[in-house]
Amino acid sequence: MFWTAKAASKRRSPKAACLRKCYESARVIDYQCDRGLDPITSRSGKIWESGYKVRCQIMHVYKTELRQHLTDDGWEVIDVVASEDWWADEFWKVQSRRNLWGHEIVLTFLVDPMWDAPRKPGQAVWAITASESIPLDRLSAENGVARLGVVKGRFGKELAAFIAKLDAYRNSR
């Protein structure tokens, strides 16, 4: 039995709430369910199969929002480096474009230490930290200049504080 995303948004289950939020904001990149429920079809006709973990990959949206806030506050992402370590998803090299022109910091996308399954890029990221150089280990990454928790519902508020810490760090140099 197929049902539409619109019909799912009327239900009161966590699955429906997750789908509704993603669907209404046009941020659905992938939605898969492990609760044994029927597959879902979107208006575009894409079918999401059951049998996998529930995940609305909003990390792509978070990265876009972070990049926009960095640009607005005088930072530019100059390089994205994929990580080969289990504890880091990727590193962003960021340069200042305002005062202290050319000063570089590195943003590290940290993977949840409790994640024990194979993961795709961008999956299981639970925090973003800033440091002066690419960290050599997880501990040095966590003890950086600033830290941003990637928590749904609080990301926007914490993002503003994170950018303010980066600006304060740049101004104190």
69 and 119 both lie in a single domain: yes
Is there a domain that residue 54 lies in?
no
- Mean pLDDT lowest among 34-38, 138-142, 161-165: 34-38
Most confident of 6-10, 115-119, 161-165: 161-165
35 and 92 both lie in a single domain: no
Is there a domain that residue 144 lies in?
yes
Is there a domain that residue 7 lies in?
yes
* pTM as predicted: 0.67
- Cα–Cα–Cα angle for 29, 20, 126, rounded to 5 degrees: 55
Instruction: Say what percent of the chain tops pLDDT 70.
Output: 67
- The pLDDT of residue 57: 56
pLDDT at 129 over 90: yes
| Six token digits for residue 2 | 């197929």
Estimate the crossing angle of helix 59-72 against helix 155-172, to 10 degrees.
Answer: 40
Higher pLDDT, 47 or 73: 73
Sheet holding 104-111: strands in order across?
75-82, 88-96, 104-111, 125-131, 146-149
Q: State which residues form the domain around 44.
A: 3-48
Closest CA to 132 of 103, 161, 109: 103
pLDDT in tens, 97-123: 988 898 999 999 999 999 888 888 888
Region 1-26: mean pLDDT is 45
Mark out the alpha helices in 9-90 (DSSP H runs): 14-24, 59-72
